[in-house]
Copies of this chain bind each other. A is one copy, B any other.
Amino acid sequence: MAKELTPRSKNYSQWYNELVVKADLAENSAVRGCMVIKPYGYAIWEKMQAELDRMFKETGHVNAYFPLFIPKSFFSKEASHVEGFAKECAVVTHYRLKNDPEGNGIIVDPDAKLEEELIVRPTSETIIWNTYKNWIQSYRDLPILCNQWANVVRWEMRTRLFLRTAEFLWQEGHTAHATEAEALEETEKMVNVYGDFAEQFMAMPVIKGAKSENERFAGALETYTIEALMQDGKALQSGTSHFLGQNFAKAFDVKFANRDGKDDYVWATSWGVSTRLMGALVMAHSDDNGLVLPPKLAPFQVVIVPIYRKDEQLAAINEKVDEIITKLKAKGITVKYDNADTKKPGWKFAEYELKGVPVRLGIGPRDIENGTVEVARRDTLEKNVVELDNIDQHVVDLLEEIQQNIYQKAVDYRTNHTTKVDTYEEFKEVLNGKGGFILAHWDGTPETEQKIKDETKATIRCIPFEGEKEEGKCIYTGNPSSQRVLFALAY
């Protein structure tokens, strides 16, 4: 088979890179660090978008759209933000090309230099808070609960499809509130929305918690995160929700008259997930045969492949398949029927396995005679011959079972790769051995975290919201600690 993948055990990173390209999810473009998201990959992203968008709207948010470009000076207004974001970015300096007078094609017109350079947004807090200034006068104008679906650009030096690209697609929520408590509640609400989405739709268990100071978003007072564990034992930060305090309101002078008629600065949050989730989805479930997609996000949940030699056999199969498709669609199942005669069934089987289609139905002349169909599930690769009569309910149940099964498999993997350690020796041993999440005591200082990172590359993924509060001693300094935190190597 031409599309064979490097096994995960041999080279996990290469397996991922090959899979993303061979399963037609994405590819590198002619522009360094920018990807092309291919139709099959984009169809998965659209499903993610649709569910997230519904969840955002159900929690009271509305969509809007803000400019792609941000004036350079805006980034200087929030001190920590500029350090975190404005450095590696795409800078627009000119607004016109012209024919080279010396005949060498087209060149940038030196007369068309912008007075102030524009930055292609790496994130939109600055331009949005500059806009909110005009929207907010009194507490009656609050809260503002806006989300934006957009592209952003961060000039990354080392890029990988979906996981780290110069341009990526995301959503960024930006909310404005009258009180600190309300903004904190929003920050927490949205990390919970992300957690629910990851677990219920991506079938990917996550640990929710707060970031340590070192790992916080540039400009945030708190960053909440969902952290997932990939099959190579590394963590992947999959979504973040930030409590921004009054930092951006102060930077852009956004005040409101509160209920007592007094002026106060507005409280802010921002939260986002990106096409990075596509990378997480691939790495969380897929195997050496290709993608394994959760039924709830698969572009099509069922593929039907006819198996025949003669044209009249195909005619009989086509007729039966029509009935099956009608029944499946009536249950809300998405189906593709691949009766193209340019490929053989074996090729198709491998192709749809590679693409992670949750359920495959194979149907041949003998099935027509017997009133049966062969049902193959992608997650376990099991095959069964099933009566056609009840095929629709069978598939409904099977899709639900697959969704549950791959979630449970990921939970089990995580359980087996989460280790409590009490000494720094043990910490390093686990990190360099089986990897995964490590629960350890930490003294709460940025300095200790930095030293551990410098020595081992591991970072604190989060201070988990859940889990027992337990007194202990920092594995590095021996200083007291009140809670274990989650360490891991991370993407």
Seen from chain A, the residues whose Cβ lies within 8 Å of a Cβ on chain B are 27, 29-31, 34-39, 42-43, 45-46, 62-76, 82, 86-98, 105-106, 108, 117-120, 127, 130-131, 134, 140, 146, 150-151, 153, 155, 167, 169, 342
A342 touching B146 by the CB < 8 A rule?
Answer: no
A45 (CB) vs chain B CBs: closest residue: B65
Chain B, Cβ-Cβ closest to A26: B65
19 A-B residue pairs with CB within 8 Å: A30-B67, A30-B131, A31-B69, A36-B64, A36-B65, A37-B65, A39-B63, A68-B120, A68-B151, A68-B167, A69-B90, A72-B106, A75-B97, A76-B105, A88-B96, A90-B92, A92-B93, A120-B120, A150-B151
Among B45, B74, B91, B140, point to the contact of A93 (Cβ < 8 A). B91
A131 touches B68 (CB 8 A): no
Partner of A130, one of B30, B43, B150: B30
Asked if A108 and B92 sit within 8 Å, CB to CB, the answer is no
Alpha-carbon distance A182/B82, docked complex (angstroms) = 52
Question: Given B29, B69, B73, B105, which contacts A167 in the complex, CB threshold below 8 Å?
Answer: B69
Contact between A95 and B89 (Cβ–Cβ < 8 Å)?
Answer: yes
In angstroms, Cα B75 to Cα A29, docked, is: 16
Known contacts A73-B105, A95-B88, A97-B86, A36 near B66 by CB under 8 Å: yes
Q: Which of B31, B38, B108, B150 contacts A67 (CB 8 A)?
A: B31
Asked whether A63 lies within 8 Å of B91 as measured between CB atoms, the reply is no
Q: Please state if A30 and B71 are interface contacts (CB–CB under 8 Å).
A: yes
A176 CB → nearest B CB, Å: 13
B153 A68 Cβ-Cβ under 8 A: yes
Decide: A131 and B69 in contact? CB cutoff 8 A: no
Interchain nearest-CB distance for A83 vs B (Å): 9
Residue ID in chain B nearest A340 by CB atoms: B140
Query: Which residues of B are found within 8 Å of A42, using beta-carbon distances?
Result: 62-65
CB pair B68–A39 under 8 Å, yes or no, is: no
Chain B: minimal CB distance from A203 (Å): 24
Contact B91 A94 (CB under 8 A): yes
* Cβ–Cβ contact B87 & A98, under 8 A: yes
Known contacts A36-B67, A70-B31: A95-B91 contact under CB 8 Å: yes
Q: How far apart sit A377 and B241, CA to CA, in the bound complex (Å)?
A: 43
Inter-subunit contact B131/A29 (CB<8 Å): yes
Q: How far is the CB of A300 from chain B (nearest CB, A)?
A: 12
In the complex, which residues of chain B have a beta carbon less than 8 angstroms from the beta carbon of A30? 67, 71, 74, 127, 130-131
Residues of B within 8 A of A119 (CB): 97
Decide: A90 and B62 in contact? CB cutoff 8 A: no
Assess the B88–A91 pair: CB atoms within 8 A.
no
A31 and B127 within 8 A (CB): yes
Residues of B within 8 A of A35 (CB): 67
> B residues within 8 A CB of A68?
34, 120, 151, 153, 167
Inside 8 A of A89's CB, which chain B residues have their CB? 95-97
Set of chain B residues within 8 Å of A106, measured between Cβ atoms: 72, 75-76, 82, 86
A65 contacts B96, C-beta separation under 8 Å: no
- Select one of B96, B134, B140, B153 contacting A87, CB under 8 A: B96
Q: How far is the CA of A120 from the CA of B34 in the complex (A)?
A: 13
Judge whether A29 and B76 touch: CB under 8 Å: no
Quick one: given A97-B89, A105-B73, A106-B82, are A65 and B169 in contact (CB under 8 Å)?
yes
* Structural contact, B67 and A140, CB atoms closer than 8 A: no
Give Cα A134–Cα B42 distance, bound, in whole angstroms. 18
Q: 5 closest A-B pairs (Cβ-Cβ)?
A: A34-B67, A39-B62, A37-B65, A91-B94, A95-B155
Complex-state Cα separation, A155 to B146, whole angstroms? 27
- In the complex, what's the smallest C-beta–C-beta distance from A305 to chain B, in angstroms? 18
A455 vs B127: C-alpha distance in the bound complex, in angstroms?
44
Report yes or no: B97 in contact with A87, Cβ–Cβ below 8 A.
Answer: yes
Known contacts A67-B36, A68-B34, A76-B105; is-contact A91 B90 (Cβ 8 Å): no
CA distance A63 to B50 in the complex (A): 14
Q: What chain B residues lie within 8 Å of A69 (beta carbons)?
A: 31, 34, 90, 167
Nearest CB of B to A354, in Å: 17
Residues of the B chain whose Cβ atoms lie less than 8 Å from the Cβ of A92:
90-93, 120
Q: Which residues of B contact A37 (CB under 8 A)?
A: 64-65
A93 surroundings in chain B (CB, below 8 A): 91-94, 108
Which of B29, B105, B151 is close to A151, meaning CB atoms less than 8 Å apart?
Answer: B151
Q: CA–CA, A63 to B299, complex, Å?
A: 12
Cα A38 to Cα B342 in complex, Å, equals: 50
Closest residue on chain B to residue A90 by CB atoms: B92
Distance, CA A10 to CA B388, complexed state (A): 71
